[in-house]
Chain A
Amino acid sequence: MSDDPRFGLRRSVTLPGPLRLDGGVLFSPVDIAYETYGTLNDDASNAILVCHALTGDQHLASEHPVTGKPGWWARMVGPGKPIDTNRWFVICSNVLGSCLGSSGPATINPATGQPWGMHFPVITIRDMVRAQAMLLDHLGIDRLFAVVGGSMGGMQALSWAATFPERVRAAVVIASAARHSAQNIAFHEVGRQAIMADPKWRGGAYYEAQDPPAAGLAVARMAAHITYLSEAGLTAKFGRKLQGRESKTFGFDADFQVESYLRHQGLAFVDRFDANSYLYITRALDYFDLAEEHGGLLANAFRQSQARFCVVSFDTDWLYPTAESRSIAHALNAAGAPASFVELSSPFGHDAFLLESPELDRVIGGFLAAGERA
C-alpha cells in the first residue's frame, strides 16, 4: 500500500463533487491538498484526521514549502509521538477556502479561467468537513479512528462528530469552542477591515497585478496574534524592553520589543498566506455555531454520536476560554456521550496547544491508546 500514489507527503486531488455548501452553492470541482503519515491498515480502521487551525495547513509534520520550518505539530505527530505514526495512519488536509493547494479564492475558477477572488462562495466549518469527508471517500476510509484538532481544528472535530456521527470513533477538541463569541467576531472584523482598507486589496482582485494587500494582511495578523498569547506571556517575553536601543526615540519606530515582534509576525505571515483566504476562513469561523445548527441546543449535536470525546482547554487562553470547553463538556454529558474534559495550566495562552506540554501529550496519547483497547 506504501506505493499507492494517494498516500504520502504533498499530495493533491481534484474531486468531481459537487459539494453542496451551506450557503446553497453546488461547488465543483473540489481541489484538496493533503498529506498522509504512517500506513493505513488492511481494514482501514487506523486513520486519524488532524484538522488545522485558521492559518495552518496540511504540512502537519513535514517541512513547510514556503518557510522551510518543521510542520506545525511535528512535536505531536510522528513515530513514537502522542499521535504515533507507527500505529496510526494520519491525514491532514488543507481546508476548503485556504491557500496551500485546496480550492480557495486564489485558485482558478474553471468557468472564467481567472482566480475566484471574491466570487469564491462563502464557506462554513461544516463545508470544510464535508470536503474532508469527500477526501476520505477517495482514500477508501469509511470510519475515522479519531479526528483531532486545536482551535479551528477543534471546531472541525466537533462538526465531524455532529455531521458524520457514524464515521467518527473518537474526537479530540483542544483550545476550541462550539461557537464564535461576539468578542471573537469583533477581533476578526478588525482583521478583515484592515485587509479591505488596504488600497491594494482592489475588491479582492489583486492576483493579476501580483501585488497583494500585504500591509492590510500584516495588520490583521498582528491584531490576531495578540489574541493567541497571554498578557502574562507577553510581559514575561517582552515587558517594556526596548528594541536594540538605549532609550525611547520620541518617534514611531518600533521602540518596544513587542512592537518589533508583532511587525515581524505580520511580515512573515504575508509571505505564506493569501489575504482573501484570510477573509473567507475568518468568516467561516464567525458563522460557526454548532448549537444553532441543531435547534439551539448543543447537546442535540451529539445525540447520534457514537464517539468518545476528549476536550482540553488552557487556563490562560482568552480567545477560546475554558468556559467554552466546559459548555461543550456539559452538552456531551447531557447527550450521554463518553466525554473527558480537562483544563491544563500553561503560561502561553491560546498558542499553548502548539507548544511543549507534557500533560497535553499524556492526555492525547492516553485517550487515543484507550480507543485501541475498546
Chain B
Amino acid sequence: MTLRPDLAIIAHHVDRGARILDVGCGDGALMAALRDDRGCDARGLELEPTNVAAAVGRGLSVIQGDADTDLADYPDDSFDYAILSQTLQTTRRPDWVLEQLLRIGRHAFVSFPNFAHWRVRASLLVGGRMPVTRLLPIAWYATPNIHHVTVDDFRALVKERGIAIEGAWFLSGDQQTGSGLANLLAEHAVFLLRHDR
C-alpha cells in the first residue's frame, strides 16, 4: 500500500518501536504502516465514525473523538510522537491543539497545505476569488479548512511559542522541494517539532 507523500515522510522519520498518537488518523493508513513496517505501538483519535469503524476493523486502536476538545484527556508525555497530518487547518484552535500535541508527545509531526503556494496566491491575485486548487479543491463555504495557514505563519507561531523545529520537509506535487522558497513553492509542509523545556 502506498502512503500519501506527507505520510510517507512521517513514517520514514519515526523511530522503530515508538509509541505514536495519530490525531485525525482517518481510516488508519499511517497507523497500519507504522505498526506493520516499523513495529510502532500506534493509537489514533478520529472524528468520523465510519473512519473509526474502518480503522478498528483493521485491528488498530482508535478512539472516536474531537481533537479540539479530547486531547486534554491524554496524560503528559504518554507518546514518543503525536502526529497531526492535514488536520491543523480544520481545528477551531490550532494553537491550543499544537500545545496539546507537544504536551502529550515528546515530539510532534504536523503537516498542512501551504496557503501561500504560488498557485493559491495567483488564484487570489488574478481571480480575486477564494482559491479552489488541486490542493484546496473545496469551495470556501464548504471547506473543512477553517484556519488556513502558510509555511511562514507556522514558523512564526512555533517561534513565538518556544517550540523547536527538529525537521522540516516540503512537497510540491509528490516531489520534495527546498526550504528556502518553501513559502512560495511548497504545496505541503511537514514539520517535526519539540517543546523547549
Contacts and interface: CB of A to CB of B under 8 A. Distances in A.
* Chains A and B belong together in one complex: yes
Contact of A340 (B63, B75, B78): B63
29 contacts: A308-B61, A329-B63, A333-B73, A333-B75, A334-B73, A334-B75, A338-B43, A339-B43, A339-B63, A340-B55, A341-B52, A341-B62, A341-B63, A341-B64, A342-B56, A342-B62, A342-B64, A344-B49, A359-B49, A359-B53, A362-B53, A363-B53, A363-B57, A365-B57, A366-B57, A366-B58, A367-B59, A370-B58, A371-B59
A342 B75 CA distance: 21
Interface in A343-374: 343-345, 359, 362-363, 365-367, 369-371, 373
B62 A340 contact: yes
**Residue from the set A308, A341, A369 with the largest chain B CB neighbour count within 10 Å:** A341
A interface secondary structure, majority: helix
Interface string B48-78: 0110111111111111110000000111001
A326 B63 CA distance: 9
A43 to B, nearest CB: 22
A243 B73 CA distance: 50
B49 A336 contact: no
A359 B50 contact: yes
A229 interface: no
Contact of B61 (A330, A339, A359, A365): A339
Contacts of B49: 342-345, 359
A359 B57 CA distance: 9
Given A308-B61, A367-B59, A336 B78 contact: yes
Interface range for A:
20 to 34
B127 to A, nearest CB: 40
A310 interface: yes
Interface of B: 41, 43, 49-50, 52-65, 73-75, 78
A340 B74 contact: no
Nearest to A310: B56
A373 B53 contact: no
A155 B26 CA distance: 29
A291 to B, nearest CB: 16
Contacts of A373: 59
B90 to A, nearest CB: 20
Contact of A342 (B52, B58, B78): B52
B65 to A, nearest CB: 8
B59 A333 contact: no
Nearest to A339: B61
A366 B56 CA distance: 6
Nearest to B43: A338
A342 B53 contact: yes
B172 to A, nearest CB: 36
**Residue from the set B52, B56, B74, B78 with the largest chain A CB neighbour count within 10 Å:** B56
A333 B74 contact: yes
A340 B56 contact: yes
B75 to A, nearest CB: 6
Contacts of A333: 63, 73-75
B52 to A, nearest CB: 4
B59 A370 contact: yes
A369 B60 CA distance: 11
Contacts of A362: 53-54, 57
B45 to A, nearest CB: 9
Nearest to B78: A336
**Residue from the set B43, B54, B59 with the largest chain A CB neighbour count within 10 Å:** B59
A17 B123 CA distance: 78
Contacts of B78: 336
Contacts of A367: 56-57, 59
B56 A363 contact: yes
A202 to B, nearest CB: 49
Contacts of A339: 43, 61, 63
Given A338-B43, A343-B49, A330 B56 contact: no
Contacts of A342: 49, 52-53, 56, 62, 64
Contacts of B43: 338-339
B52 A338 contact: no
A124 B17 CA distance: 41
Nearest to B36: A373
B29 to A, nearest CB: 15
Contacts of B57: 362-363, 365-367
A363 B56 CA distance: 6
Contacts of A359: 49-50, 53
B37 to A, nearest CB: 15
**Residue from the set A340, A363, A365, A370 with the largest chain B CB neighbour count within 10 Å:** A340
**Residue from the set B60, B64, B75 with the largest chain A CB neighbour count within 10 Å:** B64
A315 to B, nearest CB: 9
B73 A330 contact: yes
Contacts of A366: 56-59
A286 to B, nearest CB: 28
A214 B78 CA distance: 55
